Amino acid sequence: MSKLTDVPKRILIGRALRSDRLGETLLPKRVALPVFASDPLSSVAYAPGEVLLVLSIAGLSAYHFSPWIAVAVVVLMFTVVASYRQNVHAYPSGGGDYEVATTNLGPKAGLTVASALLVDYVLTVAVSISSGIENLGSAIPFVVENKVACAVGVIVLLTLMNLRGVRESGTLFAIPTYVFVAGVFLMIAWGAFRGGVLGDDMRAPTADFEIKPEHPGLAGFALLFLLLRAFSSGCAALTGVEAISNGVPGFRKPKSRNAATTLALMGLLAVTMFCGIIALAGATDVRMAENPAKDLVHNGVPLGPDYVQDPVISQVAEAVFGHGSLLFVVLAAATALVLFLAANTAYNGFPLLGSILAQDRYLPRQLHTRGDRLAFSNGIVLLAGAAALLVSIYGADSTRLIQLYIVGVFVSFTLSQTGMVRHWNRLLGTEKDPAERRRMVRSRAINAFGAFFTGLVLVVVLLTKFTHGAWVALLGMCIFYATMTAIRRHYDRVADEIAAPDTPSEDTVRPSRVHSVVLVSKVHRPALRALAYAKLLRSDTLEALTVNVDAEETRALREEWERRGIDVPLKVLDSPYREVTRPVIEYVKSLRAQSPRDVVSVIIPEYVVGHWYEHFLHNQSALRLKGRLLFTPGVMVTSVPYQLESSEAAKLRARKRQDWAAPGSARRGPAERAKDTSPRT
């Protein structure tokens, strides 16, 4: 019952949207791009900086490796995009990596992918919001001075928005995303023009700092390891690429082709922006360090703990556009907004994945209802709580949080691509058409290379990041995996227990007779209604039952009973301690003992009330009695509701709760009308 929280919720979250207003909208490419790509595109706001940060460990001289790392990231990006274009064509149902891995590699691989994705969603929220706060902080210092509070505030805001059921509107996503992309391209173009044509000397605000390397003169294997670590950090730019493969049903037709085109476009934009920013960072002499307080030195003096290191993108923007210029502020705001939208995609993906997992009985069954408000709310609150916890623990420091990221993404990449290879192998086993076979062989080659490359990156990420925080993400995955396995095992055990036997057994043998017992305490409308309904059911015996908790009231009841000439016998049970439950249970058991093959039907008049506090005043004895009766075999319990006037309010509330737009509905597309399999008996 969510009634207790209804009033504050209403105030905070507002009235729910009606689902029919949602319509049967499908996303055109120009809207799909911002809806799906805010996550991968926004990562260029932090990925280049992470590369420089890691390189700084070996000193400024290591910065000249940054273009090579950018090249490696670009190659990886093209590989992943090419691979996922195959997924999108092969699995247009939107099941995504979970479906691909489960179908081709078995349920354990699928569950591993699912665990990885769930962890990944939590980290998307934590990393994107932390980075958004840092970008906002480069324009508004107050924000970065209260980093954790602001980050948690944004999480709370997003949570409330999603609980309210705000639809992912195309416009809402499109404007900041396009402003961000346009801003970054303008910055790259203007920077290239100023540097290349005008010959201006653009200098980042940190250009005058020196870097005190933690490990100067690193070489050989150690240098290689460092470069691999820098590459791992740069791979953050790839997070969210897989989102489109979950969202194919949301595209306009031809769905798969449009999705594949959007994917390619997104990849192209992302790598251009990534490389442009890396190049500009080199040109404007951006200086970043893992521990800026200690390792950044200005005029021979370390900058100290008060120094706040701005993100690369904002330092570059400052150098190109000028400090405090309008374009600088607009880009900072757009960057922050796109990062918050990226976080929002996790709010859409998490409950959707939950609903798919619930269908496969890895999560509680009730989550599988698509658009069930309560189920989605639980998912949203769980996601927000975990993200807020991480943000608080890691002080909303995107650099530290990124160490946890990426592992999940690459687990899911690798398993998904491996699954695709088996998918093509299976199809090739039956396909005869040579043209089709050639296409399949090509696709398989792409996926095989994708699997190999992402698998290699996964190993690199694990090796270079494990002690820096990746173990936390792995632990999270293990917890999800274990919980979901346990839930599945429980459901399987229960399914075995309740499986219908083929031969008639105790459960299927028809019991012989039914004794109906109507519980009454007074002769009032609810009791009369319950009696009237009970009579309709024509059971073998029917009697009214009352518990004598007050001799006076019992006498009045019996008199009233006779006065009205109610034609149902009234049975009175003694209860010296004024209990209700025990005498009734004992009476029902005695009935069962007399004729074990019969069934007892206990009919309870129930008050339907409208306010949560009224629950404390009514039905408590009935509820507890019902709870105990259910443990007695051979009993069924019937509630005959009597709607009190106040129940109208609750009815309206319940109706409103039902008309609610679930997060993620836009990206999943409208539900297809299931074919009616019944002959309408």
Site string for its own copies, 551-590 (x = CB under 8 A): x--xx--x-----x----xxxx-xxxxxxxxx--------
The residues in 661-680 that bind its own copies, with binding defined as CB under 8 A, are 671-678, 680
Peptide bond into 213 cis (omega under 30): no
Tell me the C-alpha distance between 516 and 651, whole Å. Answer: 30
Task: Report the distance separating Cα 72 and Cα 298, nearest Å.
Answer: 32
Minimum distance, C-beta of residue 111 to its own copies, in the bound complex (Å): 17
- Give least dist CB 554 to its own copies, A: 5
- Specify which residues 605 forms β-bridges with: 640
Within residues 370-409, the interface with its own copies by CB under 8 A covers: 370-372, 374
CA 509 vs. chain centroid, Å, equals 45
Give residues with Cβ within 8 angstroms of 428, minimum separation 6: 437, 440, 441, 444
514 lies in the site for its own copies, by CB under 8 A: yes
Structure tokens at 340: 């918050």
Q: How far apart are CA 144 and CA 133, in angstroms?
A: 7
Nearer to its own copies, 190 or 607 (CB): 607
Please state, in angstroms and rounded to a whole number, the distance separating the CA atoms of residues 156 and 94: 29
Q: CB of residue 677 vs its own copies: minimum separation in angstroms?
A: 5
Helix (H, G, I), strand (E, B) or coil at 424: helix
Give the shortest CB-656-to-its own copies separation in angstroms. Answer: 12
Residues 484-513, one symbol each (x = binds its own copies by CB under 8 A, - = not), give ---x--xx--xx-xxxxx-----xxxxx-x
CA end-to-end distance (rounded Å), the chain: 35
> 211 near 287, Cβ under 8 Å?
yes
Say whether residue 592 binds its own copies (CB under 8 A): no
Does 253 help bind its own copies (rule: CB under 8 A)? no
Span near its own copies by CB under 8 A; candidates 107-115, 227-235, 435-443, 525-533? 525-533
Positions 633 through 652 that interact with its own copies (CB under 8 A)? 633, 635-645, 647, 650-651
Query: Which residues inside 410-429 make contact with its own copies, applying CB under 8 A?
Result: none
Residue with Cβ nearer its own copies (253 or 673): 673
> H or E element: which one contains 508?
none
Of 597-626, which residues contact its own copies (CB under 8 A)? 599, 601, 603, 606-608, 614, 616-618, 620-621, 624, 626
- State which of positions 464-483 bind its own copies (CB under 8 A): none
Of the candidate spans 44-52, 132-140, 283-291, 357-365, the one that interacts with its own copies by CB under 8 A turns out to be 357-365
Of 344, 347, 342, residue with least CA distance to 383? 347
Q: Which of 372, 346, 347, 342 is nearest to 359 (CA)?
A: 372
Interatomic CA distance for residues 319 and 310, integer angstroms: 12
Q: What is the pattern of x (binds its own copies, CB under 8 A) and - over residues 171-210? A: ----------------------------------------
Report CA dihedral (172, 175, 180, 181) to the nearest 10 degrees: 120
Q: How far is the CB of 513 from its own copies (least distance, A)?
A: 7
Q: Which is nearer to its own copies, 99 or 606 (CB)?
A: 606
Whole-angstrom Cα distance, residue 441 to residue 515?
A: 70
Out of 299, 430, 467, 681, which residue is the one contacting its own copies (CB under 8 A)? 681
In the complex, minimum distance from the CB of residue 591 to its own copies, in angstroms, rounded to a whole number: 14
- Closer to its own copies at the Cβ: 432 or 655? 655
Q: What is the largest CA-CA distance in the chain?
A: 107
Distance CA 66, CA 58 (A): 12
Is the Cβ of residue 411 or residue 530 nearer to its own copies in the bound state?
A: 530
**Binding its own copies by CB under 8 A: which of 369, 392, 485, 595?**
369
User: Site residues for its own copies, window 337-356 (CB under 8 A)?
Assistant: 355
CB of 525 to its own copies, least distance (A): 4
Buried b (16+ CB within 10 A) or exposed e, 526-556: bbeebbeebeeeebeebebbbbbbeeeebee
Query: How would you write 45-92 as a 3-class SS string?
Result: HCHHHHHHHHHHHHCHHHHHHHHHHHHHHHHHHHHHHHHHHHHHHHCC
- Closest to its own copies by CB, 435 vs 509, is 509
Cα separation values, 329 from 179, 230, 284, 326, Å: 12, 29, 19, 5
Number of residues that make up the chain:
681
- Decide: is 25 part of the binding site for its own copies (CB under 8 A): no
CB of 651 to its own copies, least distance (A): 4
Minimum gap (Å) between residue 370 Cβ and its own copies: 5
Q: How far is the CB of 576 from its own copies (least distance, A)?
A: 4
Query: Residue 530 Cβ, how far from its own copies at the closest point, in Å?
Result: 8
- C-beta of 185: minimal distance to its own copies in Å? 40
Residue 364 sits in the site that holds its own copies (CB under 8 A): yes
Counting residues that bind its own copies (by CB under 8 A) gives 111
Query: Looking only at residues 263 through 322 of this chain, which bind its own copies when binding is defined by CB under 8 A?
Result: none
| 194's tokens | 């100023």
Shortest distance, CB of residue 82 to its own copies, whole angstroms?
Answer: 33
Determine how many CB atoms are found less than 10 A away from the CB of residue 567.
Answer: 8
Least separation in angstroms between CB 349 and its own copies:
18
Question: Which range touches its own copies (CB under 8 A), out of 30-38, 44-52, 174-182, 543-551?
Answer: 543-551
Give 188-195's long-range contacts (Cβ < 8 A, gap of 24+): 188/272, 188/273, 188/276, 188/277, 188/279, 188/280, 190/320, 190/321, 191/276, 191/280, 191/283, 191/284, 191/316, 191/319, 191/320, 194/320, 195/283
The correct pick among 89, 164, 400, 529 for binding its own copies (CB under 8 A) is: 529
Rounded Cα gap, residues 142 and 146, in angstroms: 6
